[in-house]
Structure formats: structure tokens, C-alpha cells
Structure 1
Amino acid sequence: MLSTSLPSFSFSLKEALDLLQRFINSSNQIKQIHSVLLTSNALVSSQRKTILVYNTLIRSYLTTGQHKTSLALFTHMLASNIQPIDLTFPSLIKAAHSSFSVSTGVALHGQALKRGVLSDPYVQTSFVRFYGEVCDLRSSRKMFDEIAHPCVIECNSMLDACGRNGEMDSAFELFQRMPVTDVVSWTTVINGFGKNGLHDKAVMLFREMIVVIPPNEATLVSVLSSCANLDQGGVHLGKQIHGYVMRKEIILTATLGTALLDMYGKAGHLEMALTIFNRIRKKEVFTWNAIISALASNGRPKEALEMFEMMKAKNVRPNGITLTAVLTACSRSKLVELGIQLFSSVCSEYKIIPTSEHYACMVDLIGRAGLLVDAVNFIKNLPVEPDASVLGALLGACKIHEDSELGNKVGKTLIGLQPQHCGQYVALSTLNALESNWAEAEQIRKDMIQAGIRKIPAYSVLSRLEK
């Protein structure tokens, strides 16, 4: 280990490089090496070696999650007249994205152009990825188009940029034109389809892929997510994937195992979900979240709450998703007081800032129990304006308890917020019909038709999956 008495400790640039490579994942050691370099003025010697040290320091701080320090080092480089090279930029571009700094990324683009390294394939690929991640698909595509002969890695970055920004037609067109594809190419498109709600297309592409190239863990996780969002046809394929995992003796990591148990949980196969949960050796917070949600949504909310207590006993720190699952469990059990107490205590103890989804869960919890006045008061006391999810939860409670007077007020507010959402019109019309307010129900239907809104029909993708 490095000495903690830094003033009496020094080393050459070559030794610094060796140490940085050795301790690249250790934040404390990186800081110590950096401090020694500064106090010994070692960074003002050989230009070439100094650039290598700066590059390694930038990458080291990035690896340990200190993105702003990486960017600050680049500023220090320029101030010290140390000229960056092509290898300097990829880590900086990634740091800019990780710091949520679009302006820094654009400034780095200008620096890369100024330094004559923008034609470097790694720099180009980094910018294609960066602009895609910050939702600037136009700049991402422009950078990609400047690459004369894009390789598979550069194409994969463009596929990911399109998928992140909802341009799956463009992504699939590029995918079909690629002279060479690899497992990342297939996985990126499958994941893109899933992220954009095109789960049937994700599944069909996976069926094609399995004939051409073996999937990796990321592929399996992506397609299992799509299976979980389909009907029984999705479950059928999910079981086949489970069988594939067992036949190939693929290690059930937390990520893959959670994808499997989530798929089984959403399909109502709770016992299998629990079996998978028990087989996952190293359970992450998202694993616990998935099993709590599965129990809550399959008629076993009390077991879901017991699982939450077990999670805390294992010293796994709950997050916002955990809170949503727990509140859902309380709502299904009509445990209003417990839900309110948990909402307050979990947010306070684990520093969770409530979102609209959490507020909607609370309204559902209170309203589902028939405490509509309390639900209204809860909304009035929110620190933010209630959005469609919060008001939608209240409308749902009005429908359950057939309160057409309050429901009409809430429903009309919702229609004002989401004038093109057919669900609000249908819910409001149904509520009035339950109260035998036929004239009002008919008028709402007419308003919906006049607004050019059509009810989205239910459909099955089973036939498509079997083709």
C-alpha cells in the first residue's frame, strides 16, 4: 500500500504510471498518487510521459466515479500547456455525460476539432455515443455520417443512439445494412425495441438471432424484459429462455436472475419466481424489488411486506422502486396506517425524495380504502402540482367507490391535462354509467369522438410470435 506520509514519498513518472494502473479502481490510492505528483512537481518533466500520466489520471478518476475531477484535470492540462492527444478524449467525453454536462461535451468536441483528433475512430465513436445519450440524435447522426467506413463498433454506437431516442425504424434500417454484425448489434436492436414498447418486434428479432449467433447475458435480459410485457406467448418464450440458461449452465447472476423472476412474476407464476429468487446467490436491491413487486401484484401483499423486512435485515438499502412496491403491497392489503407510516419513515431514513409515482401510490392507498376525502386532502398538501398519475389514482378510487360527483371533477381536470388520452374519457364515462348518469356518460363518449380520439382495442401478439 502507499504510504500515508506523502511529503517524504516520491516516485518517477514511470513509477506513477505503474501505480495508477495498479490502483485504477481505488479512489484513495489515486488521490494519494496524484497528491505526490503535485507536491514533487513531477508533472512538469517529460511532455510525452506527462501526457500519459494525465490520461491515466483522467481515466482513473472516471473509473472511481469522480467525473468532475476528470474534467478538472483536463482544464489543468491545458493551463499547463500540456497538449492533449487522441487517447485523452474518450474518457473525458464519458465523464461529460456522467456529469450531465452537455455544454462540456460540446466544448470537448471543439477541442478535439482544434487538436486535429476528431478523425480518430475512438473519438468519433465516443461522440456518436455521447450525443445519443444526451438526446441529440441529429448531432450523433452527423458525427456518424462523417465516418467514411464505419466499423461494427461505430455502427453499434449509432444503433444505441437511435434506440435511446425512439428512432427504431432508423436503427433497424441501419442494422439490416450493416455488412458485419455481432452479438452487441443484435442485443442493441432487441433492447431498443423493448425500451420503445415494441416488445413483439424484440421477441421476433431474438428468434432470428438465436439461429445466427449465440446470445449473451445482456441479450437474454433484454428479451426477457420484453417477454414480461407480452401475453402468454411471451411467457412461453420466457420459459424456453429459462431452459436455454439451464442447458448451457449459464450462471444465474443477479441481473439475469432478476429478469427471469420478474418475467415469471408478471405472468402470475409466483412459485417459480420465488424459486428463482432463492437460487440467486448475490441478491441486489433490484432483485428484492422484483420479488416484492411480484408478491404484491399476485395477491400476497403481506408476504411482500415480510420480504421488505427481510431485505432490511440483510442490510440491503431500499430505493425509490422499493418504496413503490411496498406502498403497492399496503394498498392491496388496505393497510392505510402502515402505508402512511412506511412512506414517512422510509423516505426519512433512506433519504428518498418522493416522486409523482410515490404520491400516486399514496392516493391509491388512501382512496382504495374508501377514504376519498383524505385522499383529496393529501393531494392538496402535496409540495408539487398533482400530475396525471396522481389524479388518475384518485379517479380510479372514485370509480371503485362509485363517487360520480368527485369523479367528474377529477376526470374533467384529467382530460384538460391529457386531452388526447382515451383512458380518461372511458373511465369518466364508465363512472357515470355506474351511477346511471346515462346522459352524462353519452355526452363524454360524444366529446371523445368529436375530439378525434378512438379507444385503443386490445390485441394479442401470440399469433405473431408463432409465425
Structure 2
Amino acid sequence: MLSTSFSSFRLSLDDALYLLQRFLTSSNHIKQIHSVLLTTNALLASSRKTKFVYNTLIRSYLTTGQHNTSLSLFNHMLANQVKPINLTFPSLIKSASSSFSVPYGLSLHSQALKRGVLRDPFVPTSFVQFYGEVGDLRSSRKMFDEILDPCVVACNTMLDAFGRNGEMGSAFELFRRMDVTDVVSWTTVINGFGKNGSHAKAVMLFRDMIVVVTPNEATLVSVLSSCANLDQGGVHLGKQIHCYITRKEIILTTTLGTALLDMYGKGGDLEMALIIFHQIYDKKVCAWNAIISALASNGRPEKALEMFEMMKSRNVHPNGITLLAVLTACARSKLVDLGIQLFTSMCSEYKITPTSEHYGCMVDLIGRAGLLGDAVNFIKSLPLEPDASVLGALLGACKIHEDAELGNKIGKTLIKLQPEHCGQYVALSTLKALGNNWTEAEEMRKVMIEAGIQKIPAYSVLS
């Protein structure tokens, strides 16, 4: 039986390869093996085995999320004059992508050109993914076009790059031209449509898909997300997908269960949302967040806060999304003191770094209770400039409590920030009407119409 410590060993390269592959996902073991290799100078010899050890080390650090160490190893490899091969680059490119290191990714591209490894299609495919993930769609497409006969994996990677960067027209065109598609191809396009707001198209494509390809869990999660975000008929379509899941006896994992729960919650079917929640065996934080949000947004804030306490009692640690859901529940119940207490304690105890959305929820919490002056003071104390989510929450509170003077001031600032957002015009027009400024209220709606800005039905500036 092997010891859990390798500090007293002198490893051959063959032993190192065996141990690295055995302990691929164990961060501590990888560090120990790496340390022994360094102290015994085993990595200095430039042989094919040395290259494989470096490659495996790079992949091991990537697998355990230590992306910067993975990239540093490449520098060490070059410094010891160990020449990288085609197998060296895909893991390095992924590390650069995961750490969002654009300069390092560009450096890797130069090295790949210099080493002549771009002939291996897996290397340019990795660069297609890298450039897509860092937002350089032009370079991503250029790399894809240089692959002579792109396989389905390369095409799927390009589909993802298009989707990430909002080019769904190009994605769908490529998808239709592909000679071979698989479940990943269909799922990538469905997910892309959903991420870019084309939820109806995502659902329509899913209907086409199930005729020719069996969807996987990722497909179902993506299409359920689109159902949850459809303005009309989303729950009905989501129920049909739920029936499909039941009929096919698909296991309700945490991810799939949470997607179903979220769909029912956003559709206002709390009874079904609770049933799904209790069916999820391994309730991770995402499932708790979904049920707390569903309850808070559908008139059950007390039950939402009860669920939050239950979540903590099960030793599930809250995250930033939990904080948003809990603050929403407190705002709906006008529990200002509790909301402030939870905001402070969660940030200090669970090390949650507040975003503008959290600050917007706090303004909503304080403002809904009618404490508009306190809401203004809270905004002034923020460590960042208030954005549309923060000011929109204050405008919503002004509308609820009919404070036309403050609302007009905030509304004008918001229109400068979001000149094409219908909610600000509608709210400002309503506030002017409340102040009996009928001419100005009508003028505001006229400006909105002339700018071609359409009112979205049932829109809230707080959503």
C-alpha cells in the first residue's frame, strides 16, 4: 500500500507518470510528486518521458483548478529546454482561458506557431474556444477557418464561441451547414438562443431535436431555463418537458431538479416547486436558492426565510444568490432591521462580496418600507457609483410612496444611464402624473414613443 507522502521517495519518470495519473484529482498528492521531481532534478533531462511528465503535471494542476501553476510549469519547461509537443498545448490553453489570461493565451498562440503544432486540429480547436471565451470572436473565427476539415468537436466549439458573443445568426447558419451533428451541437445552439434572450427559438429547436437526437441533462436544463423566461406559455411548455423527463425515467439530479424547480417558481406554481424541491435527493445551494427565490417572489416571504434557516441548519453555505433571495424576502415583508442584519452577517460570516444587485436589493428593502431618506443615505455610503439597478430600486420606491420630487430627480438620471429602457419612462411618467404634472407626464410618454421604445407588458423597474 502506497504512503500518502512521497517526500522520502526518489521517483523515476515512469513512477511519476503512474502516480500522477493515479492521483490526478488530488491536489496534495500532485504537489508532493512535483516537489520530489524538483528536488531530485528528475525534470532536467530532455527526453520524451520528461515531456509526458510535464504534460501530465500541467493537466493535473488544471484538473484541480490551479491554473496559474499550470501556466508557470510551461515557463519552467521552456527554461529547462524541454520542447513542448502538440499534447502540451490544449491543457495550457484551457488554463489561460479559465484564468482569463489573454496575454498568456496570445503567448501560447505564438509558441504554437513557432513549434508547428497547429497542424494537430485539437490545438487550433482549443484556441477557438479560448478566443471565444475571452470575447475575441474575430480571432476565434479565424482559427476555425484555418482548420482544413473541422470535425464535429471543432464545429461545436465554434458554435459555443458564437453563442457566447451574441452571434446566434452565425451560430445557426453553421449548425445548419454541419454534415454531422450530435447532442452537444443541438444543446449548444439551444443554450446559445436562451443565453441571448431568444427563448422561443430555443424551445422550437428543442422540439426539432427530440425527433432526431436524444437530449441529455444539459439540453433539458437549457430548455427549461428558456421555458422559465418565456413571457407566455412557458410553464405549459415546461410541464411538457417535465412529462418527457418522467416518461423517459430520467434521474432528477440536483442540476436538473433545480432547473425544474426554477421554472415552476417563476411560473408561480409554488405547490409544484415545493414537490420538486423535496424530490431532489442531494440538495446543494442552487436548489435552496431556487426555492427561497420562488417563495419570496410569489407572496410567501415568511416561508422563504424559514427555508433559509433550514438551509443553514443543514450546513449548506449561502452564496451571493442566496443573499439576493433573502433580501427580496425581507423587502416583501418590510423586515428592514432583519434584512440589514442578514446583509451584514452574511457578508462578514460567509465572505460574500456585495455586488450592485445586492445594493439594489438593500435600497429596495429600505425604500419599500417608506424610508426614502435612509435609502438615499445608504446609496451615498456605497463604495461604488450607483448604477441602474440601485437607482431603479429607489425609483420604484418613490413610485410606491408617491414621492414625485425625488422620483423625478432619480428618473432623469436613470434615463441618461439607460436611454432605451422603457421602465424608466413609464415610472417617471407615472410620478409626474401623481404630482398633477399631466402635461409633463404626457410629454414623457410622447418622447418614449418617438424614440421607438415600446412598453413591455407587466414590466417592473425592480425586476
Same fold (TM > 0.5): yes
Contact in 1 for aligned 2:420/2:453 (Cα 8 Å): no
Which of 192-201 and 227-236 deviates more? 227-236
Q: Deviations over 1:124-163 (max 9, x none)?
A: 1100011000000000000000111111110000000000
Contact in 2 for aligned 1:2/1:29 (Cα 8 Å): no
Kindly report the root-mean-square deviation, in angstroms, between the aligned alpha carbons of the 2 structures: 1.4
Partner of 2:125: 125
Partner of 2:461: none
Q: Identity over the aligned pairs, expressed in percent?
A: 78
User: Aligned with 1:249: secondary structure?
Assistant: coil
Partner of 1:246: 246
Partner of 2:452: 453
Give runs of aligned pairs for residues 107-122 of structure 1, distance below 5 A: 107-122=107-122
Contact in 1 for aligned 2:4/2:29 (Cα 8 Å): no
Give runs of aligned pairs for residues 11-410 of structure 1, distance below 5 A: 11-45=11-45, 47-410=47-410
Structure 1 distance, partners of 2:152, 2:317, is 39
Contact in 2 for aligned 1:2/1:32 (Cα 8 Å): no
Contact in 2 for aligned 1:162/1:170 (Cα 8 Å): yes
Structure 2 distance, partners of 1:446, 1:177, is 46
Contact in 2 for aligned 1:3/1:9 (Cα 8 Å): no
Q: What letter matches 2:212 in structure 1? A: V
Q: What letter matches 1:453 in structure 2? A: G
Cα gap change, 1:147/1:374 in structure 2, threshold over 3 Å: closer, same or farther? Answer: same
Q: What letter matches 1:420 in structure 2? A: E
Q: Deviations over 1:272-310 (max 9, x none)?
A: 111111111111111110010001011110110111111
Deviation at 1:248, TM superposition (A): 1.5
Deviation at 1:44, TM superposition (A): 2.7
Q: Deviations over 1:144-198 (max 9, x none)?
A: 0011111111000000000000000000000000011000000000000000000
Deviation at 1:101, TM superposition (A): 0.4
Higher relative contact order (CA 8 A, sep 6+): 1
How many residue pairs get matched? 458
Deviation at 1:4, TM superposition (A): 6.2
Deviation at 1:5, TM superposition (A): 6.1
Which of 396-405 and 431-440 deviates more? 431-440
Q: TM-score, normalised by structure 1?
A: 0.96
Deviation at 1:436, TM superposition (A): 2.4
Structure 1 distance, partners of 2:456, 2:61, is 52
Structure 2 distance, partners of 1:214, 1:442, is 54
Structure 2 distance, partners of 1:457, 1:344, is 35
Contact in 2 for aligned 1:347/1:354 (Cα 8 Å): yes
Partner of 1:9: 9
Contact in 2 for aligned 1:183/1:213 (Cα 8 Å): yes
Deviation at 1:267, TM superposition (A): 0.6
Q: Deviations over 1:37-65 (max 9, x none)?
A: 11222223360000000000000011011
Deviation at 1:97, TM superposition (A): 1.0
Q: What letter matches 1:454 in structure 2? A: I
Structure 1 distance, partners of 2:300, 2:434, is 29
Partner of 1:442: 442
Structure 2 distance, partners of 1:376, 1:444, is 24
Structure 2 distance, partners of 1:160, 1:242, is 26
Structure 2 distance, partners of 1:323, 1:7, is 44
Deviation at 1:399, TM superposition (A): 0.6
Deviation at 1:232, TM superposition (A): 4.5
Deviation at 1:20, TM superposition (A): 0.5
Q: TM-score, normalised by structure 2?
A: 0.97
Q: What letter matches 1:319 in structure 2? A: N
Structure 2 distance, partners of 1:6, 1:176, is 53
Structure 1 distance, partners of 2:258, 2:119, is 41
Deviation at 1:443, TM superposition (A): 2.5
Deviation at 1:231, TM superposition (A): 3.7
User: Aligned with 2:169: secondary structure?
Assistant: helix
Structure 2 distance, partners of 1:187, 1:448, is 38
Query: Which stretches in structure 1 are left out of the alignment for 5+ residues?
Result: 460-467
Structure 1 distance, partners of 2:361, 2:168, is 32
Which of 227-236 and 281-290 deviates more? 227-236
User: Aligned with 2:130: secondary structure?
Assistant: helix
